[in-house]
Structure 1
Amino acid sequence: MILAHETLSLYDKMLFEKAIVQAPFQKANPMTNEACFLYVLEGENKTYSALERTHIKVGESVLMKCGNFMFKLLPDKNAGTYEAIAVHFYPEILKKAYGNTLPSFLKKYTNQHTPTLVKLEAITLIQQYIESVLFYFKNPNLVNEDLLVLKLKEIIVLLLQTDSSDKIKTVLSNLFTTQTFDFKETIEAHLFSSLTVSGLAELTNNSLSSFKRKFKKIYNDSPNNYIKNRRLQKASSLLAVSELSISHIAYDCGFNDIAHFSKSFKQKFSISPSAFRLNQKHKILNQS
């Protein structure tokens, strides 16, 4: 549930957006002709693109080029809410803001697959920039067109001064070139993430019914059954060879609930995860 939402617009397009959300909350966010820079003020954000995913916390940020995205918003432990601020980039706004001086990196497009998102750690310059934008949300009477153009250009300059500048430049140079990803590529990339079947459907830009039909045609199995079995197979491998805790393995394999993981594991292997691990250790000892 969105508790508060404010925007600042440039040339009749939303440039800055600030939102407070009652979390946990999941949201699909297709961006067909825009890109976005997102900064977390409170809580955490798990961002998924067709082939990538990242996890950003307070003070961290992510730059996303156009494409399909899924957000899982997690609450601040004390406040119980998630808060973030976003800067939106549109090709027509950038061209109008820069005029005849559009930077070369915004005009050079390549055909190669480029990252769809770049995570940035906590950076003082970015933090100070965000604080300056928050000031204008509190004082909207001070905002005008010239100021917003300056703030738009400023964030691009700052992003290019970070340690991730090479990746940033690659993303910026392909900011509005939509990449097409194979359906199976996206599934395989997120098999062990915590995305639900409905989340995967939205990420592949399909309705749930269309997604299930495509999935059945490719994998000859239902999404729920196939994904659960792949996750359990990975879990069994990790239990056999690693010293990671059972809860860590469950989360690493895409299970959000330990009790559900243990029940599913026992249904498939006729033994609990802890007993399975113990059996594997005994086998190794007997072989040595």
Structure 2
Amino acid sequence: MDLYEVQKANPEIFQQFSMKDTLFLYYSCPQRDRIMQLYAKHSQFTFTLSGERLFSHGNQTLVSDSRKGMLIKRTAFLQELPPDYEGWDVLVFYLKDDYLRSIFDEFRPHLKLNDLPEADPSMMCTFAINAQTRNCYNSIIPYFGRDKKMPDSILEGKFKELLFNIFSHPKNKQILSYIMQIIDGYPTPIWEVMEANYMYDLKLIDFANISNRSLSTFKRDFKQYYKMSPGKWITERRLKKAKSLLETTSKSISEIVFESGFNNASHFSRVFKEKFQISPSLAQKV
């Protein structure tokens, strides 16, 4: 599910306003399913006001709560309800790369950019917030639901102050490293996008969005690197993961189907048997 487009299309659920290609959201999470598979095609800064949610990508699981902020990069991920099914009130800001670049260029003279760590390859990370940061994002909440539109300059000033407090916090150097990657303008390698996301049930356009490429450019770059079509590679990579899970874990076949990126157990069983000449259930017993 393209979370950005779903939220943008439902302002009655997700209170929102836009400014310079930046989408601001304020809502109580309507999630009912225990686990939802989602993906973000823009960098997502999240501030929990109350409650919590669990976010997972690969082997990484983070809790989004009011003690810290969270950055979700362009990626697919799982969003899970906590054990007590607690509600979740949250502010979310989607930032496109061009806007991040322009803001960072403005902030650059005032930030300490020496001795930054290598950019963390993890697709999600938490970041430190303090009382000043909280004051900044809480000051934006009253602007949601207003009948009278505010000048962009007022909102942008508040938002820039919020971002500057995040970027200048001494414990948030990993955020600066990530922004520097965007500033450098290097496209995310195709292999990096695919290895991080093949196990999610995504369409080709979703992979293209995550890689920040058009669909035609994505297909061209993919074939240039892998020497085969995206569809064939994705199926083979998912089957490889499924076979490993069958042989090394005690998970049920339905769990393995989900974790490998297949959305249909009968389809999975058919292509698995075609590939390995053995059914998934028998492979699990070997």
**TM-score for both structures, normalised by structure 2:** 0.61
- What runs of 5+ residues in structure 1 fail to find an aligned partner? 281-288
Please give the alpha-carbon distance, in whole angstroms, between the structure 2 residues aligned to 1:174 and 1:149: 25
SS at match of 1:3: coil
CA separation in 2, counterparts of 1:276 and 1:167?
42
Q: 1:85 aligned to 62, 69, 92, which one?
A: 92
Distance 1:136 1:206, change over 3 A: closer
Give the structure 1 partner of residue 45 of structure 2. Answer: 37
User: Does the 8 Å contact 2:137/2:162 carry over to 1?
Assistant: no
- C-alpha spacing 1:215/1:86, structure 2 compared with 1 (3 Å): closer
Q: CA deviation at 1:228?
A: 0.7
The whole-number CA distance in structure 2 between the counterparts of 1:158 and 1:152 is 10
Give the superposition deviation at 1:192: 2.8
Contact 2:198 / 2:261 at 8 angstroms: preserved in 1? yes
Judged with a 3 Å threshold, the aligned counterparts in structure 2 of structure 1 residues 64 and 128 are, in CA distance, closer, same or farther, namely same
1:153 aligns with 2:161: yes
Cα pair 2:223 2:229 within 8 Å, conserved: yes
Query: What is the rounded CA distance, in whole Å, between the counterparts of 2:250 and 2:127 in structure 1?
Result: 29
Aligned to 2:71: 63
Separation in 1, partners of 2:79, 2:130 = 24
List per-residue Cα deviations over 1:84-139 (Å, max 9, x = no partner).
5216454545666x6xx942237x69897665854228978667754442223245
- What SS is found at the alignment partner of 1:193? coil
Aligned in 2, Cα 1:84/1:255: closer, same or farther, shift over 3 Å? farther
| Gap regions ≥5 residues in structure 2 | 1-5
**Which of 3, 7, 27 is the equivalent residue of 2:17?**
7
The aligned residue for residue 267 of structure 2 is 260
- Which amino acid is the alignment partner of residue 206 of structure 2? G
Give the drift of 1:174.
5.2
Identify which range, 171-180 or 241-250, moves more after superposition. 171-180
The structural deviation recorded for 1:204 is 3.8
Query: Secondary structure of the equivalent of 1:221?
Result: coil
Assess if the C-alpha contact under 8 Å between 1:26 and 1:72 holds in 2: yes
Alpha carbons 1:232, 1:265 under 8 Å: kept: yes
Larger Rg computed on CA atoms: 1
Partner of 1:104 in structure 2?
111
Matched residue, 1:227: 234
Q: Report if the CA contact (8 A) 1:28-1:203 is conserved.
A: yes
State whether residues 37 and 64 of structure 1, in contact with CA within 8 Å, keep that contact through their aligned partners in structure 2.
yes
Q: CA deviation at 1:193?
A: 3.5
User: Match for residue 283 of structure 1?
Assistant: none
Q: Tell me if the contact between 1:262 and 1:272 (Cα under 8 Å) persists in the aligned partners.
A: yes
Listed one character per residue, the Cα deviations across residues 24-69 of structure 1 (whole Å, up to 9, x for unaligned) are 8977746xxxx66244789989899xxx99877764854368xxx3
1:44–1:74 CA contact under 8 A, matched in 2: yes
**Shift, 1:254, TM fit:** 2.0
Residue pair 2:208, 2:215 contacting (<8 A) in 1 also? yes
Contact 2:128 2:172 in 1 (8 A): no
1:44–1:73: 8 Å Cα contact kept in structure 2?
Answer: no
Give the SS at the match of 1:271.
coil
Matched residue, 2:141: 134
2:125 aligned with 1:119 = yes
Which of the numbers 163, 171, 174 marks the counterpart of 2:178? Answer: 171
Per-residue deviation at 1:154? 3.5
Q: Secondary structure at the match of 1:179?
A: coil
User: Between the two proteins, what is the percent identity of the paired residues?
Assistant: 24
CA distance 1:161–1:191, change in 2 (3 Å): same
Given the two structures, how large is their TM-score scaled by the length of structure 1?
A: 0.61
Quote the RMSD (CA, aligned, Å): 5.0
